[in-house]
Chain A
């Protein structure tokens, strides 16, 4: 069976994570920020799966399942917040929600 080398999978995970971080930092639309966070979570999940395959342990897969359920919960809360913000500020611009400035 042809297996991808460990490094490649980790490089992909790092790339995905960096992509997510960049998305969070540069996008202003809240929906896109939420999606970027999903990408970061999946990058972390990929790293766990890779590690599980490398050492043949089930723990990594268990962690991945956790991450999936966490992502689902996070999205539902996040979407609810986004709806409230949209309702309140009539925009999805993250920079507009800066009422808590010191």
Chain B
């Protein structure tokens, strides 16, 4: 188990090598180091997983070193492997190495080739530290490392100022959440005197009672961090703009790293959240609001990557919903399945834009099903999984687990369930809208080039995972496989009761209904539908949805504009004037005294003579 260190260390070393080589390595070697380090770490992770599952231990702690010792504050750097972090580790390394393999071709010829792989490896390393950390402080280091790498990669093509702006937005918005997270760490340390995750959770259960102020506050602060990282309402605005980065980056951010970190944090500290029912309810409500908002926003996008971005926000909303109703293992299940199909969708979208000269607008595509069969089938499979088409897709099983958990809780959670059902319908509608517009109808752009195996292999493997990845956990009516929840049972002991068969049928029917409506509306877009959607009232609503419910405009008016006004008003305050005065006086004196230095020797001689006369006169006449 000592090899566990290698899992985050290998990508880190790969990244360090690429950074220190300063782009002087040949591209083939860069690709080898960039992909190889993560792939090797995936192999080790798989081997460790087999060893762990066949071994007797329920969890493994590997203390590496003591970070610092200041009185009672003695955080250690330790790795903690239990079923939850095992699942996360496998998802991050395997999906990560597939995405990196794909990026070898996608980024070919880019002048920042080496820089790209250096950042990507660092990203994976930071995420692995985050999921494997046994100490909240080490987790926080990974947390911030992920934030840093997302900034670097979203602004990867920094020559365009818009990309830099998107990168800064992502960094600053997630920073708001991170500040809350850090305050939460302070609170936990001052109350419980440790930051080791397992002792924190154990002590919280003994020293805090359910609903106490400290537990509520700590959970709320951790939730703030999770909201920022996982792009939930009200901090979701950064994710659609994060599409400014290269497509493999989007795939990595959305599938394997970054946005799932918030879900992981809540799942990791779920016993703490269980002590704060109010906060837990808030998690579910936030998730439901987010998934509704994002689904309607996705329905009105024309950029293929922005559709997927909003769909990620929406799907993370499902995970929050699951966490909110206490269905921890369902949330992690959906996290894993979502990683499969969202990586697949992004890579397929990248495979389309790669061949269409980086065209992102779905209305300028069309008729691509015959021309790009590989991209078509992978995108179709990803879409089917996202839309949770029954039985054949992984998304069906994970989404069903979430919805039935919400149903089983009853009471107020039924509202959450209703939100989830409505969104399941809209999800099928928006993703098949994209499928029908992009792949069917008249062709508008002619694709060029062809795919290599480095693109085909990740797409094929992810397609398989997006189809059968859900078969590790099925409802009792459909075989009743409980492999996944049994795996996670040591971490999440209480599994929610199974759902009635009628509910499963209803969920399946809803997503098929969405698919049917998408077919009716978008297979061949009729003139009546165009006229209806362009009528003033509908067009206004569509604009409102397309702008993500105008959150950006709201924040601009509420936060950005007042802040800028305050800054402008503060520019000439007393303290500033004082220092400006000093600078002004110095400059004034400099000009006056500098004027004395004429460079003329006779002028200097005159001064000497005059000075001598005055000195002698003073000496004589005194």
Contacts and interface: CB of A to CB of B under 8 A. Distances in A.
Interface stretch (B502-510, B513-521, B545-553, B599-607): B599-607
A98 B603 CA distance: 10
B599 A98 contact: yes
Contact of A94 (B597, B600, B609): B600
B602 A102 contact: no
Contacts of B601: 33, 94, 97
Interface stretch (A20-28, A58-66, A68-76): A20-28
A100 B599 contact: yes
A33 B602 CA distance: 9
A90 interface: no
Contacts of A33: 601-602
B206 interface: no
A101 B598 CA distance: 4
Contact of B599 (A24, A25, A28, A99): A99
Interface in A11-51: 21, 24-25, 28, 33
B597 A101 contact: yes
B596 interface: yes
A24 B606 CA distance: 9
B597 A25 contact: no
Nearest to A18: B609
Given A95-B602, A97-B601, A25 B596 contact: no
Given A94-B600, A94-B601, A102 B595 contact: yes
Contacts of A94: 600-602
A100 B604 CA distance: 12
The winner among B597, B598, B602 for most chain A CB atoms within 10 A is B602
Interface in B548-605: 593-602, 605
A101 B599 contact: yes
Is the interface on chain B under 10, 10 to 19, 20 to 34, or 35 or more residues? 10 to 19
Nearest to A24: B605
Nearest to A21: B609
B30 to A, nearest CB: 54
A93 B597 CA distance: 18
Given A102-B594, A102-B595, A95 B609 contact: no
A25 B605 contact: yes
Nearest to A96: B600
Contacts of B599: 97-102
Interface string A79-92: 00000000000000
B220 to A, nearest CB: 63
Contacts of B605: 24-25
A21 B611 CA distance: 13
Given A94-B600, A98-B600, A101-B599, A25 B606 contact: yes
Contacts of A25: 602, 605-606, 609
A101 B606 CA distance: 16
Nearest to B601: A94
Contacts of B597: 100-102
A95 B594 contact: no
Contacts of B609: 21, 25
Contacts of A24: 602, 605
B602 A28 contact: yes
B606 A98 contact: no
A56 B602 CA distance: 38
B299 to A, nearest CB: 70
14 contacts: A21-B609, A25-B609, A28-B602, A33-B601, A94-B602, A95-B600, A97-B601, A98-B600, A99-B599, A101-B597, A101-B598, A102-B593, A102-B596, A102-B599
Given A97-B601, A101-B600, A102-B595, 5 more contacts: A21-B609, A24-B602, A94-B600, A98-B600, A102-B597
Interface of B: 593-602, 605-606, 609
